[in-house]
Structure 1
Amino acid sequence: MAIKPARNTTSVTTSYGEPYDALVLDAILRQSLVTVRTLGQRGMRVAALETSSYKLIPTFSSRWCQHSFIAPNYSQSDAPFVEYLKLLLQNNAARMLFTSSDGTLEILRAHRAEFEPLTRLAIGNEAALKIATNKDQTLEIAHRLGLGVPEGVTLSSRAEVKEALKIIGLPAVVKPNESWLWGEQHGVRLTCALVATPDEAYQAVEQLTLDGGSVLFQKFLTGRREAMSFLYANGEMYARFAQWAKRTQPQLGGTSVYRKSIAIPDDIGSQAERLIREINLDGYSEVEFRRDAAGKPYLMEINPRLSASVEVAVRAGVDFPYLIYQWAMGERIDRISSYRTDKWMRFLEGDMMTTLQALREQGRPGVTDAREALLGFWGSFFVPCNYDYVDIHDLVPAWVAAQNLAYRWRLNRKEKLARRDK
């Protein structure tokens, strides 16, 4: 299999054979761009990789991206992707490997023994990952530690929904027990769903259990969404960071699109740290909480890979990608004792989408009032804020991201017109 660089006229390429300090997978994701930038600004040689699923990739256009690679898509089978990545690492040495998605995390876990002789993997130990990627196991340990756990039941089929409705009621949240699942012929990333009627509950459970696995049917909570991020290694906590996601896309359980660095809350700060220490989850992790109407925090999940919201931490003074690099390479890890609070970060595309969603879904549980949604969206332009993709020292990725949005909008419009004309 030939290894070729991405055909992206704005990417900075170098000759083959020279070792890279880091290879960043999942280049389409915002956190991957942040990783390339922060390591590149420190003088490191960084390459990035994405699959053939995407046309325009902002990370490839960064001035700090030394080389870009396009690998086979792994959604149907991971074998071509694994073969490609192994050949790439054999022919173009990279000291360590970053992952930012559930899909590539699962691939690296499954093939750890094949990749570890070739490079350092920036993922936690397998025993801890097995717990962190399974919500049932995570919540069981959290409950034992005294953390708030949402009222819920575990379901494996549509037939169990009726009993769940009696116990939990509506509205409710249906969550996959594991975010990435390999079916018989493909891999799929599963996301949670808010259900307000029995029909929606049956449909959501049926859809999320099509490829096997189980779901959590949980009580719907309406309070703030907050998260704690950590860099933990060798029994010591090297960095702690807290953020509040004011808006997410989609509005329930989605990625944060308007978030702020906050002082570490006394309750979730200590709770999240106890959980990470109990599981012994080394490396980077993000622990998500949702508060109820009275302000009590409940654990949602642990994210054991680099998360989409990480740039707000970097801008506030906690350079998690570099800390991850130090940890994975076995170097001395910097200790971060403080950071800047009240730093806002905004993903404009996602904020536009969640505002439009709010306007379309008025009256549903958890959906912001139309007037409040519009005032919040437009008012945010008058708040000092950093924007995802935008860096005055590296502006091209923001332009490519805008092109990518326009391309996807045109493609979506063509598909809608084609369906209408049938």
Structure 2
Amino acid sequence: MKNKAVILGCNYYIGLSTIRCLGIHGIHTVAVDYSDKDNYGADSKYTSERIIAPHYKEKKQEFIDFLKDYGSKQSVPPVLIPCHDSYVEVIDEHLNELKKYYLIPQTNQGLWSRVMDKEALHQLAVDHGVLVPETVRLNEENFFEKIETIVKYPCIVKPIDSPSFMAKFRRKIFEVHNKQELEEALAKAKQANEEVIVQRIIPGFDDHMYTFDAYLNQDSKVTHWLTCQKFRQFPINFGASVYTGQKYVPELYEIGAKFLEEIGYKGFGEIEFKKDAETGKFYLIEINARITNLNNLLFKVGINFPYITYMEMTGNPLPPKSVKEDTGRVFWYGFEDMLAVRDYVRTGQLSYSQVLKSYFKPKAYAIWNWKDPKPAFSYLKLLSGKLRKK
């Protein structure tokens, strides 16, 4: 296979799983990061080439010029695969110029940014008849009255630009329980120059969170898909998956596939839903427009999204496939799950016996792989260094 695969962001296990998913098929993988420090994903034996690029935010134009220069030197265009939201934003901003040098599934410049922008996504969902949590914007009249009557406490203060918010606060949202806490959260966001909205919390424990993971071809048709159910996340209640299982939920296909096709989405995408514990209805929470935390789970149960992307982009699309049964397999990010379990037990949301029972399932590990152990040892070294500092 002549086309290289350029993977952006290898200092996390998402980049690692992407490298593995492509490397097992003999594809030349290029691990790109802004530093050679802590990018344990690039230590995989499936990494063919590793290069350091200018920082995607601090030196954005230099980063784009770097990518264009690298792409221009290749005999055939590489497939470009971002593994972090910030990379997606930069690629989307420069999509048309980068497509001259790389194979990228998305053709509609700005669409990735729209689905990542919470305000724009909310409007897209409403326009297409998809349920979203009740939302109040800061510039609305009778703001606090609407919070009391429509959203109610507790509620969440949610960023418009998630990557920027995460970088500043190391959390996805602010959860508030009264007017005073709401005012304090809004003040923090304003001080950090972060635009936010206020949303109702859909009732239900973390196992009411689900995902619809899909690939849409160049005709914006879903060709590959499956669904998953979260069991635990970190930070708890409003965090990223740390223990999640594949679970066949056909209703999520009916909602998710229709929505993504109607908005003209292309490439891999993951919609996160929450099932209302009182009504049973599914609410769209967010969309991940890049390879996600669960990638190794999706691969283990039979759908290799990075490879599907590569093959379609290079003119050899794979036959459609979906997982319409419960395999029982779970994704497990051990370190953060340990932290999550501590907090679930501390807050009385789970007992140790419930947690222990949950572990008796076949695993798709975030980092560990018997055939490719080096990244795990690099990660342990990194982790031990951080713990020593603390």
TM-score, normalised via structure 2 length: 0.88
CA distance in 2, matches of 1:236, 1:359: 43
Aligned to 2:344: 358
Other structure's SS at 1:327 match: helix
Q: Which among 216, 221, 240 is matched to residue 197 of structure 2?
A: 216
Aligned to 2:242: 257
Q: Which moved more, 1:105-114 or 1:346-355?
A: 105-114
Q: Which among 12, 26, 47 is matched to residue 65 of structure 1?
A: 47
Other structure's SS at 1:121 match: coil
Aligned to 2:274: 290
How do residues 368-383 of structure 1 correspond to structure 2 at under 5 angstroms?
Answer: 368-369=348-349, 372-383=350-361
Query: CA 1:393/1:339 → structure 2, altered by over 3 Å: closer, same or farther?
Result: farther
Q: Which among 305, 316, 319 is matched to residue 320 of structure 1?
A: 305
Aligned to 2:262: 278
Matched, 1:304 2:286: no
**Runs of 5+ consecutive residues of structure 1 not aligned to the other structure:** 1-17, 363-367, 414-422
Aligned to 2:71: 89
Q: Which among 376, 383, 387 is matched to residue 405 of structure 1?
A: 383
Query: CA 1:337/1:382 → structure 2, altered by over 3 Å: closer, same or farther?
Result: closer
Aligned to 1:248: 233
Aligned to 1:105: 88
AA of the residue aligned to 1:97? L
**Contact 2:93 2:109 (C-alpha < 8 Å) held by counterparts:** no
CA distance in 1, matches of 2:179, 2:169: 25
CA distance in 2, matches of 1:201, 1:152: 14
Query: CA 1:407/1:164 → structure 2, altered by over 3 Å: closer, same or farther?
Result: farther
Q: Which among 55, 58, 61 is matched to residue 79 of structure 1?
A: 61
- CA deviations 1:92-117 (Å, max 9, x no partner) are 66611110111111111122233222
Q: Which moved more, 1:332-341 or 1:30-39?
A: 332-341
Aligned to 1:201: 182
- CA deviations 1:291-316 (Å, max 9, x no partner) are 12222211112222111122211110
Structure 1 runs of 4+ off > 6 angstroms? 186-190
CA distance in 1, matches of 2:360, 2:169: 39
Structure 1 residue 44: Cα displacement: 0.9
Aligned to 1:417: none
Other structure's SS at 2:245 match: strand
CA distance in 1, matches of 2:129, 2:97: 39
CA RMSD of aligned residues (A): 2.8
Structure 1 residue 118: Cα displacement: 1.9
Q: Which moved more, 1:31-40 or 1:110-119?
A: 110-119
Identical amino acids, percent of aligned pairs:
23
Aligned to 2:172: 191
Query: CA 1:127/1:331 → structure 2, altered by over 3 Å: closer, same or farther?
Result: farther
- CA deviations 1:48-67 (Å, max 9, x no partner) are 01222x73222111110012
Aligned to 2:213: 229
AA of the residue aligned to 1:84? F
Matched, 1:148 2:148: no
Q: Which moved more, 1:214-223 or 1:85-94?
A: 85-94
CA distance in 1, matches of 2:170, 2:100: 28
CA distance in 2, matches of 1:20, 1:354: 41
Q: Which moved more, 1:118-127 or 1:299-308?
A: 118-127
CA distance in 2, matches of 1:76, 1:218: 32
Matched, 1:30 2:13: yes
CA distance in 1, matches of 2:324, 2:4: 27
CA distance in 1, matches of 2:294, 2:242: 8
CA distance in 2, matches of 1:288, 1:140: 16
**Runs of 5+ consecutive residues of structure 2 not aligned to the other structure:** none
CA distance in 1, matches of 2:354, 2:71: 46
CA distance in 1, matches of 2:260, 2:287: 9
Q: Which among 135, 153, 156 is matched to residue 118 of structure 2?
A: 135
